[in-house]
Amino acid sequence: MGSKHPNQNQHVKLRKLSKFADTSVLFLLVIFFLGFLAFDYEIFGLHEQIVPIPHEMEIYFEFVPWIIFVVLVFDLFLKYLIVEKNLRIFFRHYWLDVVMAALIPILWPLKFMKMTLKSFKIIKTGKFGYKSHQKIGKLHKHFFNGDKT
């Protein structure tokens, strides 16, 4: 008879589930990059979308990184079970997956930095506008009022 070890059957199921999770992450990454090209086109110095997706859809794309994060963590848990909870083997084989999962919450605040950068650029532009106005006033005073200071 086929005397399969009970754990072998469980490993097969875990591996299939892990492959499904990997495929899901790949699919979600494609969606993420489409959203990135559609809504963050200014980063590339462009003035219009690379991928035409209505702006009303942008809110849905904000959740994609977190869905990827959840699926990656679930996949890491499955892989941890596949290597029978051996951390040394787990990190040797899946260190890149761990780094990818860890980078999502680490890099998420950069989205706010982008908004802060836009505010900084607006303030900086206003400051340069004020300075330009001030310099024009001094030049006008110097050349047209006879003030030689």
Same domain, 103 and 120: no
Where on the phi/psi map is residue 39: left (φ > 0), alpha (ψ -120 to 50), or beta?
alpha
Matching residue, tokens 């909870």: 85
Contact status, residue 39 vs residue 53, Cβ threshold 8 Å: yes
User: Which range of residues forms the domain containing residue 134?
Assistant: 112-149
Q: Are residues 69 and 136 in the same domain?
A: no
- For residues 131 and 102, membership in a common domain is answered with no
Q: Residue 92 domain-assigned?
A: yes
- Same structural domain for residues 41 and 21? yes
Q: Please check whether residue 73 lies inside any domain of the structure.
A: yes
Residue range 77-97, pLDDT digits in tens = 999 999 999 999 999 999 888
Q: What is the pLDDT of residue 86?
A: 95
Q: Are residues 92 and 24 in the same domain?
A: yes
**Are 55 and 17 in the same domain?**
yes
Largest CA distance in the chain: 109
Question: 0.75 exceeded by the pTM?
Answer: no
Are 56 and 123 contained in the same domain? no
For the chain, the domain total comes to 2
Please tell me whether residues 47 and 93 are part of one structural domain: yes
Residues sharing a CB contact under 8 Å with residue 38, sequence separation 6 or more, in sequence order: 49, 50, 51, 52, 53, 57, 58, 61
Tokens of 63: 């959740």
Residues 17 and 51 grouped into a single domain: yes
* Range among 19-33, 71-85, 103-117, 126-140 rated most confident: 71-85
Confidence of residue 7 (pLDDT cuts 50, 70, 90): confident
Question: How many CA atoms are closer than 13 Å to the CA of 72, on its beta-carbon side?
Answer: 23
Q: With bands split at pLDDT 50, 70 and 90, how would you rate the model's confidence at 14?
A: very high
Same domain? For 28 and 73 the reply is yes
